[in-house]
Amino acid sequence: MPDMAAAQSASSKSNSGISRSHLKLLDGRLSKQYEDSKRLLPTNDDLPRYTGAYKGEFLAMAEAAAVKFGVPKHLFARLVQTESNWNADAVSPKGAIGLAQLMPGTAAILGVDPHDPQANLEGGALYLKQQFLRFRSWKLAVAAYNAGPEAVEEYDDVPPFAETQAYVLAIIGK
């Protein structure tokens, strides 16, 4: 009988390997379907509208960049308003550049010229969308845009930094 038990054990191991393989395949397929599904993404209904006074040329560029990368355009307009007050030449004390206040390293990774208003806005919208895909929440994406994704991961929420808390409140409104 010991041989039968060994055979059964080997068979179980073989079956569990097949199960793991199938589960991995299915998990990959489901993950891809979720990522591509518009229906399963959180709605933008609870995001505040952009009501700023600025209506110049950069607003249309920001809205176009937001639409191009699937970012709610009012959210992105509020982010740009908060980041640079629509000043294409803005440079922060920490070295962030332009309308969307891209850090030089982030701009390099994204392959955009942070001094070019169009490229800066597209880089900002793309980076914000990347953070949304990572955290599945516009609130956390905005927090990551400000404090960095590592800080959001560390706290598993909006980091308890006064600047980031105020930033998220200014853009998300809650």
Task: List the one residue out of 92, 173, 174, 172 whose CA is nearest residue 132.
Answer: 172
Catalytic site residues?
Answer: 83
Query: Hey, is 91 helix, strand or coil?
Result: strand
Phi, psi of 156 (to 5 degrees): 55, 35
Q: What is the CB neighbour count within 10 angstroms for residue 174? A: 8
Query: Hey, is 20 helix, strand or coil?
Result: helix
